[in-house]
Amino acid sequence: MQAQRLNLVLDSVMRLARRGAMSNALNLLTKLRPVDIAQILSQIPQHDREPIFDALVRHDLAKAAEAVSEMETVRAVTLLTTLTREEISRLLQELPSDDAAVLIAEMPEETRDALLETMRVEESTDVQELLGFADETAGRIMTPDYFALEEDVTVSEAITALQKRSEELEMVFYVYVIDPRNHLLGVVSLRELLLNPPSTPLRKIMITDIIKVRTDTDQEEVARIVATYNLLAVPVVDEENKLAGIITVDDVLDVMREEATEDIYALAGVSAEDRVRGSAFNSARQRLPWLMLSLGAALLAVAIVQYYLDTISKALWLAVLIPVVAAMGSAAATQTMTVVVRGIGLGEVSRETSRRVVVKESLVGLINGLTVGVVAFGVISIWFGWKVAVVLGLTMLLSLFAACLLGALVPVALKQLRADPAPASSVFVVTLTNVVTFFFYLGVATLLIKFLHP
- Interaction residues for its own copies, span 208-237 (CB under 8 A): 226-230, 232
Is the Cβ–Cβ distance between 395 and 435 less than 8 Å?
no
The interface with its own copies within residues 399-428 (CB under 8 A) comprises 400
Fill in the per-residue mask, 43 to 82: x = in contact with its own copies (CB under 8 A), - = not in contact: ----------------------------------------
Q: Which helix (H) or strand (E) holds 117?
A: helix 109-118
Q: Of 59-67, 133-141, 262-270, 443-451, which part binds its own copies (CB under 8 A)?
A: 262-270
**CA distance linking residue 312 with residue 446, whole number of Å:** 9
**In the bound complex, what is the minimum distance in angstroms from residue 318's beta carbon to its own copies?**
8
- Distance of CA 248 to CAs 63, 177, 253, 389, Å? 21, 17, 9, 59
Question: In angstroms, what is the minimal distance from the CB of 243 to its own copies?
Answer: 19
Distance CA 37, CA 6 (A): 9
Judged by CB under 8 A, which of 434, 441, 445, 446 binds its own copies?
A: 434
Q: Of 88 and 267, which CB lies nearer to its own copies in the complex structure? A: 267
Phi, psi (5° rounding) for residue 145?
Answer: -90, 70
User: String of b and e for 153-190 (b: at least 16 CB within 10 Å)?
Assistant: bbbeebeeebeeeeeeeeebebbbbbeeeeebbbbbeb
Nearer CB in complex with its own copies: 81/371 = 371
Return the residue of 125, 200, 294, 381 that touches its own copies, per CB under 8 A.
294
Task: Restricting to residues 23-42, name those near its own copies by CB under 8 A.
Answer: 33, 35
Please identify which residue in 53, 438, 440, 441 interacts with its own copies, judged by CB under 8 A.
Answer: 438
Neighbouring C-alpha atoms within 13 Å toward the C-beta of 234: 28
172: contact with its own copies by CB under 8 A: yes
User: Considering only residues 27, 81, 371, 416, which one is a binding residue for its own copies as defined by CB under 8 A?
Assistant: 371
Nearest distance from residue 218's CB to its own copies, in Å?
A: 14
Q: Is 452 in the site for its own copies (CB under 8 A)?
A: no
Binders of its own copies among residues 184 to 213 (CB under 8 A) are 190-191, 193-195
| Cα separation, 175 vs 191, whole angstroms | 10
Angle at which helix 46-59 crosses helix 22-30, to 10 degrees, equals 80
**DSSP H or E segment with residue 244:** strand 243-248
How many residues contact its own copies, by CB under 8 A?
A: 107
The smaller minimum CB distance to its own copies, of residues 116 and 138, is found at: 138
Contact region with its own copies (CB under 8 A), list: 57-65, 128-136, 239-247, 331-339: 331-339
Q: Report the amino acid identity of residue 49.
A: R
**Using the rule CB under 8 A, which residue among 23, 81, 313, 416 binds its own copies?**
313
Which of residues 132 and 289 has its CB atom nearest to its own copies in the complex? 289
Q: How far apart are CA 63 and CA 392, in angstroms?
A: 66
User: What is the closest distance, in whole angstroms, from the C-beta atom of residue 224 to its own copies in the complex?
Assistant: 9
Minimum distance of its own copies from residue 109's CB (angstroms) = 30
Closest CA to 107 of 130, 67, 78: 78
Q: Does 350 bind its own copies (CB under 8 A)?
A: yes
Q: Of 365, 341, 367, 366, whose CA–CA distance to 354 is shortest? A: 341
Restricted to residues 81-140, the positions that interact with its own copies (CB under 8 A) are none
